[in-house]
Structure 1
Amino acid sequence: MRMFNVLIDTSVWLDLAENAKQTPLLDLVERLVADGQARLLMPRIVVNEFQKNRDRVARSSAKSLATHFNQVKSAIRKADGDKRQKDRVLGYLSDLDHRIPILGGAAEGVLTRIAAIISASTIIETSDAVKLRAADRALYRKAPCHHENKNSMADALLIETYVECVRTMSGAGQRFAFVTHNKHDFSAMDGNQKLPHADLAAMFSKIKSMYFINLAECLRRIDPMRVTHAMWEQEWEQEPRSLSEMLHAVDRLTTQVWYNRHKYREWQVEKGKIKIISQAAWNDGWAKRKLSTQTHISDDIWKGALKAAKKAERTLGAGNYGPWSDFEWGMINGKLSALRWMLGEDWDELYT
């Protein structure tokens, strides 16, 4: 059975976290490793760079979008034009802006998964021989150390660690792959960037040791069918709900909760548990603290409540205002509480 030994550069891991559309690829990496089709080569330099950049990526995944949206909205407010059109655009941007913390949280979740993958991998320490060969590359300006005024020693350590793995782990059925998004340092300078730099070309081949600048292409070489399926799943990406959708749901649920409470009060009125009295009698009794909303209601308020109930029935539509079972009633209250919490209120806020 073939075993693909894959070294994934830090740049690829971080890009997986920053781009939610690449999450299916992370799923695929986990499955291939779990099924024994692939083994991750995890140099110490990758571990250190990931830990160093993790917090930055988590913050920037939301902050950069938020800053950009604020700048765009500010420019729209200052620009001349039809106020109604501007309000529509600003409303749409506010919906998108509301999703930013959710997307930022998704990036943190992916970073946590990547950290778990790294922790489960065998860490490859940097040998003295690797350090010497990396220093030689830097000294003689060989890729990835061929750029002026740039310290690429970490990249040199990475590629030399990969070369050492190929040399020491080779055997029947063993395949190797190096995956990076750092085309500037590792890829051919002029021409096809899918090919390694001329200084690195001898390290790679079409079968035993392969060079990739795209993780999906690498994984496709390991299991074509799984990658195709993962790309299909990507088309079904679930988007966060917009602010307008949540506000609409809150309004509908609030109406349902109010209507249910109204029907209970209507039953209390029919049973004589709550008495309808004139507004004057209510005002007098309330002032003297002899009346309570638990036992009395003014006729004006009751007429308004009956009218509001009819309006609620028209708004909700038949079948959407009860009666409900205890389970259904609990679901409605739970949804309202959860949505209000997402919008900034405390838990269990069920006022109507």
Structure 2
Amino acid sequence: MFKILVDTCVWLDLAKDYQQRAILTTLEELIHQGDIELILPRVVVDEFNRNKARIIEESSRSLSGTLKRVKEVIEKFGDPQKIDTVLLELNDVDHRLPILGEEAVDTIGRIEQLFACSSIIDISDAVKLRAAQRAIDKRAPFHRQRNGIDDAILIEVYRDAVGEQKTGRARFAFITYNTKDFSHPNASNKLPHPDIQDCFSKVKSHYCITLREMLQRIIPKEFNDFLEELEWVEEPRRLSEIVDAIDEFATKVWYNRHQIMLEKLEEGIIKIVDKETFPIIDHETRPIQRDILEGALRAANEVEKRFGIENLGPWDDFEWGMINGKLSALRWILGDEWDMLDT
């Protein structure tokens, strides 16, 4: 078993970067299997709780503001021949921002579930005293001008966890992205600072600056296959794809209604008039103005050229229901009410 202490910065990075979902899923699975156990100091839980709202907000709002300013600059100074293309790409990104925020909320919930099933370590007076002594001695992580005591508490909690394991085959890992405070200042940042070197060894206790690296050590043979399987996700549709699909289905619905109208003309159910009178008494037998009919015939001809007449029906009830259902669903995604099938 590996017992790992994960720095708060690593948890927060997992929460705000949806592309690391596979890493989080791997960690969840290894904890569930009993291959990993979290060393979870209360300071990590408290700091995570203080920052999670900010992470959710930053996952979408800050980028949305940036996109808005970029659009304004492009519209004002951009190449007129490229503006439409660039704005289309930016609109696609803007459409996905709420999804990124929702991903952050989901990931934070998953991390909190891991916290809930782990034993939280309250900080003892002895740990606080040793952390304070580090500050007095200006030893890492207090070797830099600005630092808080929480980082020193983490390393002292980790030291106790490693020291308490006198027997058994458990191994340990300390994972942090905070290389400025914990890594060697004059060598590879994959090495711990000399002031905390005594907490680590080649076999029993590892210093890691990425969660991926640590997981790969635990399951070296299965890691790549496991990660490859988990990293495959269906990306959300681009806004331009949704808009194009709405246009296609709306056009096909209109074309079908146009054909029904032509059949009613042939059967004499509706008549051609030079000018329609209002109010309309019966929409089933509503007459059509001559100029509107001529415009509709031209429009239908363009639709046939665009899609090919073989792709415009006739459809059975199931196929017709699918087309209308797709149109309704896509419009709902962009803010319309359900069953909005106007053409």
Does TM, normalized by the shorter one, top 0.5? yes
Aligned to 2:137: 140
Aligned to 1:53: 51
CA distance in 2, matches of 1:333, 1:117: 43
The code of the aligned residue for 1:139 comes to I
**Alpha-carbon contact 1:277-1:296 (below 8 Å) kept:** no
Tell me the CA shift for residue 128 of structure 1: 2.2
CA distance in 1, matches of 2:307, 2:231: 33
Determine helix, strand or coil for the equivalent of 2:221: helix
Aligned counterpart for 2:327 among listed residues 321, 336, 340: 336
CA distance in 2, matches of 1:91, 1:39: 47
Aligned ranges 1:97-136 → 2 under 5 Å: 97-136=94-133
**Alpha-carbon contact 2:3-2:171 (below 8 Å) kept:** yes
Determine helix, strand or coil for the equivalent of 1:206: coil
Tell me the CA shift for residue 197 of structure 1: 0.6
CA distance in 1, matches of 2:171, 2:82: 58
Determine helix, strand or coil for the equivalent of 1:224: coil
**Alpha-carbon contact 1:138-1:152 (below 8 Å) kept:** no
The percent of aligned pairs where both chains have the same amino acid is 46
Tell me the CA shift for residue 265 of structure 1: 4.1
CA distance in 2, matches of 1:331, 1:290: 31
Q: Does residue 196 in structure 1 map to residue 221 in structure 2?
A: no
Aligned ranges 1:178-257 → 2 under 5 Å: 178-233=174-229, 236-257=232-253
Q: 1:234 to 1:190 in 2, by over 3 A?
A: farther
**Alpha-carbon contact 1:5-1:175 (below 8 Å) kept:** yes
Q: 1:252 to 1:4 in 2, by over 3 A?
A: same
Tell me the CA shift for residue 38 of structure 1: 1.2
Per the normalisation by structure 2, the TM-score is: 0.90
Further displaced range: 165-174 or 49-58: 165-174
**Alpha-carbon contact 1:181-1:213 (below 8 Å) kept:** yes
Q: Does residue 279 in structure 1 map to residue 293 in structure 2?
A: no
What CA deviation, in whole Å up to 9, does each residue of 1:179-202 have, x standing for no partner? 011111111111110011101000
CA distance in 2, matches of 1:225, 1:266: 67
Cα RMSD, aligned residues only: 2.4
CA distance in 1, matches of 2:164, 2:52: 31
What CA deviation, in whole Å up to 9, does each residue of 1:47-70 have, x standing for no partner? 111111000011011122222222
Per the normalisation by structure 1, the TM-score is: 0.88
CA distance in 2, matches of 1:177, 1:331: 54
Aligned to 1:260: 256
Determine helix, strand or coil for the equivalent of 2:206: strand
CA distance in 2, matches of 1:205, 1:327: 67
Q: Does residue 26 in structure 1 map to residue 17 in structure 2?
A: no
Tell me the CA shift for residue 45 of structure 1: 1.0
Determine helix, strand or coil for the equivalent of 1:314: helix
Q: 1:69 to 1:277 in 2, by over 3 A?
A: closer
CA distance in 2, matches of 1:290, 1:299: 13
Aligned to 2:3: 5
Determine helix, strand or coil for the equivalent of 1:192: coil
CA distance in 2, matches of 1:290, 1:255: 25
CA distance in 2, matches of 1:119, 1:335: 41
The code of the aligned residue for 1:210 comes to H
Q: 1:193 to 1:4 in 2, by over 3 A?
A: same
Q: Does residue 296 in structure 1 map to residue 296 in structure 2?
A: no
The code of the aligned residue for 1:20 comes to Y
Q: 1:34 to 1:235 in 2, by over 3 A?
A: closer
Tell me the CA shift for residue 290 of structure 1: 6.9
Q: 1:159 to 1:324 in 2, by over 3 A?
A: farther
**Alpha-carbon contact 2:26-2:227 (below 8 Å) kept:** no
What CA deviation, in whole Å up to 9, does each residue of 1:131-182 have, x standing for no partner? 222122122211112222x242111111111111112245322011110111
Tell me the CA shift for residue 8 of structure 1: 1.0
Q: 1:290 to 1:17 in 2, by over 3 A?
A: closer
**Alpha-carbon contact 1:275-1:295 (below 8 Å) kept:** yes
Determine helix, strand or coil for the equivalent of 1:178: strand
Aligned to 1:78: 76
**Alpha-carbon contact 1:21-1:234 (below 8 Å) kept:** no
Aligned to 1:321: 312
CA distance in 1, matches of 2:265, 2:285: 9
Tell me the CA shift for residue 93 of structure 1: 2.2
Tell me the CA shift for residue 318 of structure 1: 5.1
The code of the aligned residue for 1:276 comes to K
- List gaps (5 residues or longer) in structure 1: none
